[in-house]
């Protein structure tokens, strides 16, 4: 019998890679999307899976719509990847973020408890929950110290998932994923903003790229591998929580250096902090500048994950390093630039 899976956030980066994986594994994939995201299926088209998914409109703010879906289908697995997922936006829309990213999780869990207690549930938790951390590496036992309405909402989702697992004996797993990027990353996130920006500069379509705090450190992996980890978390006998990360951390400035090297651009950094600039060595023109408007009211300075537990129990390990990730992202940036 074909398994049926529900993926919320199907049009996002992770939704697309997870759908690709489940289709390969012969699942029937129900993709839930917001009404406003109907046209937003370029990722699914690029992976050539848009015709293989059954789409259902769903607002995570509407419990009736969630309940309707659970009455219509029998889900073996439910992956909650939908969220207001941009940290910066959460400062401008804290209530909407809390409602969707936080309470949305509870609405799904309530539907599972009421209509489908045997469905396995995956919650996409986030390394942002660790926030301002004082530990060299963060694992499943590390202290949370969230720094944004987004991170606080994710923390609610994480704890309510654990609570429903314990209280109602549901199979509810929480995957704490550190930053994971790919050519399918949204352009508002820093890695994609950089790869797209630098390629646009090289092609003469952009003069200067403006960024915020480039000294922040992140643990960046390849999203496709993280989707695999999410699926593995639902294949155990007992639900649990796992960190997905590479264990390496780099500044945004390091990421830029790696891109510039791969693109063979002759550049040099001049100045520091708000005056920092990346300059073309020959023409002396600015290529990257810092703009205060991209700084967040509260920043997360340092993240580095320890996925020993996922490695041991799931046999999951991040394979793509920073260099490999940059290559993947820039190659595809160049390919689609040519086709525009």
Check 126, 127, 153, 174 and give the catalytic one.
126
73 has catalytic annotation: no
* 3-class secondary structure, 66: helix
Show contacts with ligand GDR in window 22-81 (CB under 6 A): none
Q: What tokens appear for 120 in the block?
A: 């396995």
Identify whether the C-beta of residue 211 lies closer than 8 Å to the C-beta of residue 198. no
Nearest by Cα to 186 from 84, 260, 100 = 84
17 has catalytic annotation: no
Check 73, 150, 164, 171 and give the catalytic one.
150
**Can you tell me the distance from the alpha carbon of 164 to that of 109, in angstroms, rounded to the nearest whole number?**
7
The contacts of residue 104 (CB under 8 Å, 6+ apart) are 8, 60, 61, 80, 82, 83, 157
Question: Which residue, 91 or 294, is less far from ligand GDR as judged by CB?
Answer: 294
* 3-class secondary structure, 175: strand
**Can you tell me the distance from the alpha carbon of 310 to that of 257, in angstroms, rounded to the nearest whole number?**
30
Show contacts with ligand GDR in window 241-260 (CB under 6 A): 252
Question: Which residue, 63 or 257, is less far from ligand GDR as judged by CB?
Answer: 257
Q: How far is the CB of 126 from ligand GDR (least distance, A)?
A: 3
Q: How far is the CB of 124 from ligand GDR (least distance, A)?
A: 8
Check 20, 59, 77, 128 and give the catalytic one.
128
**Can you tell me the distance from the alpha carbon of 158 to that of 31, in angstroms, rounded to the nearest whole number?**
22
Q: How far is the CB of 70 from ligand GDR (least distance, A)?
A: 26
Helices (H), 140-264: 149-168, 190-202, 223-233, 252-262
Our finding on whether 128 is near ligand GDR (CB under 6 A) is yes
**Can you tell me the distance from the alpha carbon of 14 to that of 85, in angstroms, rounded to the nearest whole number?**
11
**Can you tell me the distance from the alpha carbon of 317 to that of 311, in angstroms, rounded to the nearest whole number?**
6
Show contacts with ligand GDR in window 151-190 (CB under 6 A): 178-179, 188-190
**Can you tell me the distance from the alpha carbon of 289 to that of 270, in angstroms, rounded to the nearest whole number?**
10
How many C-beta atoms surround the C-beta of residue 334 within 10 A? 14
Contact with ligand GDR (CB under 6 A) among 11, 85, 147, 161: 85
Q: How far is the CB of 246 from ligand GDR (least distance, A)?
A: 12
Q: What tokens appear for 21 in the block?
A: 């994986």
Show contacts with ligand GDR in window 284-313 (CB under 6 A): 294, 296, 299-300
43-51, 84-92, 199-207, 259-267 -> range binding ligand GDR (CB under 6 A) = 84-92
Question: Which residue, 59 or 181, is less far from ligand GDR as judged by CB?
Answer: 181
Q: x/- contact string, 183-222, with ligand GDR (CB under 6 A)?
A: -----xxx--x-----------------xxxx-x-x----
128 has catalytic annotation: yes
Question: Which residue, 213 or 320, is less far from ligand GDR as judged by CB?
Answer: 213
Identify whether the C-beta of residue 271 lies closer than 8 Å to the C-beta of residue 277. yes
Binding site for ligand GDR (CB under 6 A): 85, 87-88, 126-128, 178-179, 188-190, 193, 211-214, 216, 218, 252, 294, 296, 299-300
Residues annotated catalytic, as ranges: 126, 128, 150
């Amino acid at each position: 019998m074909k398994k049926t899976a529900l993926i919320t956030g199907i049009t996002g980066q992770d939704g697309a890679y997870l759908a690709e994986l489940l289709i390969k594994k012969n699942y029937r994939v129900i993709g839930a999307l917001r009404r406003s995201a109907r046209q937003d299926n370029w990722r699914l088209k690029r992976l050539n899976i848009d015709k293989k998914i059954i789409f259902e409109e769903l607002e995570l703010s509407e419990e009736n719509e969630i309940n309707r879906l659970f009455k219509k289908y029998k889900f073996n697995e439910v992956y909650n990847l939908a969220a207001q997922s941009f940290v910066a936006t959460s400062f401008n829309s804290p209530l909407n973020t809390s409602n969707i990213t936080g309470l949305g999780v509870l609405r799904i869990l309530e539907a599972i408890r009421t209509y489908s207690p045997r469905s396995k549930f995956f919650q996409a938790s986030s390394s942002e929950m660790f926030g301002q951390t004082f530990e060299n590496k963060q694992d499943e036992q590390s202290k949370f110290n969230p720094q944004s309405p987004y991170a606080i909402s994710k923390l609610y989702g994480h704890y309510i998932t654990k609570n429903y697992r314990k209280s109602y004996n549901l199979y509810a797993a929480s995957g704490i994923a550190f930053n994971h990027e790919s050519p399918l990353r949204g352009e508002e996130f820093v890695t994609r903003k950089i790869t797209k920006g630098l390629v646009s500069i090289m092609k003469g379509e952009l003069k200067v790229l403006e960024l915020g705090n480039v000294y922040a450190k992140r643990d960046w992996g390849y999203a496709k591998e993280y989707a695999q980890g999410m699926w593995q978390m639902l294949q155990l006998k007992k639900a649990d929580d796992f960190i997905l990360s590479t264990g390496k951390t780099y500044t945004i400035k390091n990421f830029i250096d790696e891109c510039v090297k791969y693109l063979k651009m002759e550049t040099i950094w001049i100045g520091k902090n708000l005056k920092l600039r990346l300059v073309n060595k020959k023409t002396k023109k600015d290529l990257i500048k810092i703009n205060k408007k991209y700084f967040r009211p509260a920043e997360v300075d340092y993240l580095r994950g320890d996925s020993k537990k996922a490695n041991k129990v799931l046999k999951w390990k991040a394979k793509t390093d920073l260099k490999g990730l940059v290559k993947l992202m820039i190659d595809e940036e160049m390919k689609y630039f040519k086709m525009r």
